[in-house]
Structure 1
Amino acid sequence: METLANLESFVRSAEMGSFSAAARRLALTPAAVSRNVAMLERNIGVRLFHRSTRKLTLTEAGERFLLSIGGNLDALQAAIAEVATAAEEPAGVLKVSMPPTLGMAHILPLLPGFLARYPRVRPEWHFENRKVDLIAEGYDAAIGGGFDLAPGVVARPLAPAHIIAVASPSYMAGRTQPSDPSGLASFAGILMRSSGTGRVRQWMMRDAAGTEMPVPLRECIVVNDPAAMREAALLGLGVAMLAVPDALPQLERGDLLRLLPNWYADAGAISLYYANRALLPAKTRAFVNTMIEAFRHDRLAERFAGSLGQLVSSRSADR
């Protein structure tokens, strides 16, 4: 009977299209995955892949074999994982990707308590403004928004990703608060250029009644990072469109003012991404549960909701 390792190496290589990608998924070396597949081919007496220096493709027999396995491999892995992780203590490297500002302001403070509870876990946290490939890059989890859901990856929404208009008290001194987004046309804009598309991001704001209006900020300052936008706003250089968590501490202290408290732009959701729930290692399950509980306990979904204008400090800028 074939070992689970041989079958898993075959299935993941077929799914990923290469031994190297499968190796990253399985935490093995490419050579080990190739050996497992070669052993499987030798044992069943059938060639399963066409191999070349550039490409790995299934043979006709390989396609039939993959279809015949179907979901049986995942079901078997799930059964083994369920039994194995029931008594497993969370341990090992926990590789997580998260946006810098959200991560440092709201996730990193949870680390002391997490490590006190799970001392055998070694965090490797990457603070980065990009959508990582969890499987190919070997991440246990990621926090962010707009990720493509690869096979075997799930998304657990944590909070809304709402964008609001903010400015410093010094910038708003002597200026009148706008009544709707059209009033932003006379303000200096602190805008962000996307590293992915190369375009300056434009927003459409909405109110509780569902009315939508574009944000006509003048392109006065352009940066490529939300934290830089916030710092420029704190310096009194203009109005920035920021995700609520990127500005929440400054709003709560009064260092920034929320303009248009009844208007916001919807950028989707802040989600927690990780592998299929049934196959989670104990360290990842501990992290997922900690994040869900922390967001619930600290009411972060409510505090991050730009649609609930009164939950975020918006002191009058006309004082």
Structure 2
Amino acid sequence: MDYFQLMVENMAMQPLGHLECFVKSAESGSFSAAARRLALTPAAVSKNVARLEASLGVRLFQRSTRKLTLTEGGERFLQQISAALTTLSDAVNDVSEQDKQPAGTLRVSMGQAFGRAYMVPLLDTFLRRYPAIVPDWRFENRQVDLIGEGFDAGIGGGLDLKPGVVARELGRIHIVAVASAAYMDDKPKPCSPSDLAAFDGIVRRASHTGRLNQYSLRNAAGDTAIADLQPRIIFDDPDAICQAALMGLGVALLPMPFAVPWLQTGALLRVLPGWSADVGPVSLYYPAKKLLPAKTRVFVDYVIEQFRERDFARLVQSEG
């Protein structure tokens, strides 16, 4: 029998907590990050991993002041136990949560403006349904490692769909040209995206590349053209761009989730009705587990239910 097969058989003899500390430390690359995910102290995680190594008789990590690195033995052990441990942990959690109210801290990552506008308003009903859940939401405009950073879920567009992560599309986001009625009052109406060059442009700089965003707009007939906005103001935040447009400072290309509330009130107008750019979906991301923790399962179900009831998918697309 292979030595590592013996190690795996010994898995059943190890406390589940020791194995979880090892797997989470391997996934995150540090005892501190694993401790945050497991609600333990870094010292406790380190001690549990050391006990596991002593019991197995093999060193699983090379330790340094900067990070943990799996040894060859640690790599093989992780590959052989991680799936089985996940299944076992899920089964234990599922049994323990049966007939109990969903509870615990719910860690979710989401974009700042999107989260404030579309997620925070859902909290009241959610908390009344599930009073034992404590939302711990991070509002940040960055790519997150959902599993590596220990999030229960994430909401956004363009996240990397890594192995072990599921994405549920909430709607496809369209970019549209908007301006205030006051700004457009004494100006000729543009007929095509190239006409936007005659207006003050409120443009966005992509925070991850440093480049100015440029969009190719399409109409119902299938014609496409570059939106030729001339930069008058440059921001890296869509909320600030929206505010500048409301102040009458120029024409902006805004994602529909930011523009919709103001289009509905008339504070903003569509400058090029019928033209838009599809920039992909906004999705709800969560770990691909057969048995999700109850807190995550009810959150996923609730978000999908609420976005469907509000017809979000239609709302954030441009139809005219």
Q: TM-score, normalised by structure 2?
A: 0.88
Residue 152 (structure 2) aligns with:
140
Which of 74, 87, 90 is 1:62 aligned to?
74
Whether 2:218 is the aligned partner of 1:217: answer no
Matching of residue 11 in structure 1 with residue 23 in structure 2: yes
Q: Which residue of 2 aligns with 1:316?
A: none
Select which of 68, 93, 102 maps to 1:81: 93
Cα distance change of structure 1 residues 26 and 170 upon mapping to structure 2, 3 Å threshold: same
Where does structure 2 lack aligned partners over 5 or more consecutive residues?
Answer: 1-12
Q: Is the 8 A contact 1:95 1:140 kept in 2?
A: yes
Alpha-carbon distance, 1:292 to partner = 0.3
Cα separation, 1, equivalents of 2:61 and 2:183:
64
For the 8 Å contact 2:32–2:41, the answer to whether it is kept is yes
Q: Helix, strand or coil for the counterpart of 2:177?
A: strand
Q: Which residue of 1 aligns with 2:3?
A: none
Is the contact made by 1:77 and 1:279 (CA closer than 8 Å) also made in structure 2? no
Q: Distance in 2 between matches of 1:72 and 1:78?
A: 10
Superposed CA deviations along residues 45-99 of structure 1, whole A, max 9, x for unmatched, are 2222222223422323223323332522222223223323333312233333333
Q: What corresponds to 2:175 in structure 1? A: 163
Moved more, 143-152 or 234-243: 143-152
Matches within 5 A, 1:1-319: 1-69=13-81, 71-306=83-318, 308-309=319-320
Whole-Å Cα distance in 1 between the matches of residues 168 and 203 of structure 2? 29
2:290 is paired with a residue whose SS is helix
2-side partners of 1:91 and 1:122: how far apart? 8
Following the alignment from structure 1 to structure 2, what is the Cα–Cα distance between the partners of residues 252 and 130?
A: 29
Q: Structure 1 length as normaliser, TM-score?
A: 0.88
Q: Deviations over 1:188-239 (max 9, x none)?
A: 1001223332222211212234432211101011122111111111111111
In the TM superposition, what is the alpha-carbon distance from 1:150 to its structure 2 partner? 4.3
Q: CA deviation at 1:137?
A: 4.2
> What is the CA distance between 1:145 and its match in structure 2?
1.0
Matched residues in 2 for 1:159 and 1:293: separation?
13
Q: Aligned partners of 2:301, 2:82: CA distance in 1, in Å?
A: 30
In structure 2, relative to structure 1, the CA distance for the partners of 1:258 and 1:276 (3 Å cut) is same
Is the Cα contact below 8 Å between 2:94 and 2:293 reproduced in 1?
A: no
Q: What is the aligned residue count?
A: 308
Separation in structure 2 between the aligned mates of residue 132 and residue 10 of structure 1, nearest angstrom: 22
Alpha-carbon contact 2:23-2:82 (below 8 Å) kept: no
Distance 2:162 2:63 in 1: 24
State the shift of 1:277 in Å: 3.9
Segments of structure 1 that go 5 or more residues without pairing to the other structure are 310-319
Could you list the structure 1 runs, at least 4 aligned residues long, displaced by more than 4 angstroms after superposition.
none
**Cα separation, 2, equivalents of 1:112 and 1:22:** 31
Identity score, percent: 56
Give the 3 Å change call, closer, same or farther, for CA 70–280 of structure 1 in structure 2: closer
Give per-residue Cα distances to partners, 1:29-58, cap 9 Å, x unaligned. 222222222111111222222222234223
Structure 1 pair 109/62, CA: closer, same or farther in 2 (3 Å)?
A: closer
Summarize deviations over 1:123-156 as a string: whole Å, max 9, x none. 3333333333434544332221112234433222
Is residue 90–residue 292 contact of structure 2 (8 Å, CA) maintained in 1?
no
- Post-superposition Cα deviations, 1:287-307, rounded to whole Å, max 9, x if no partner, equal 21111001111101111112x
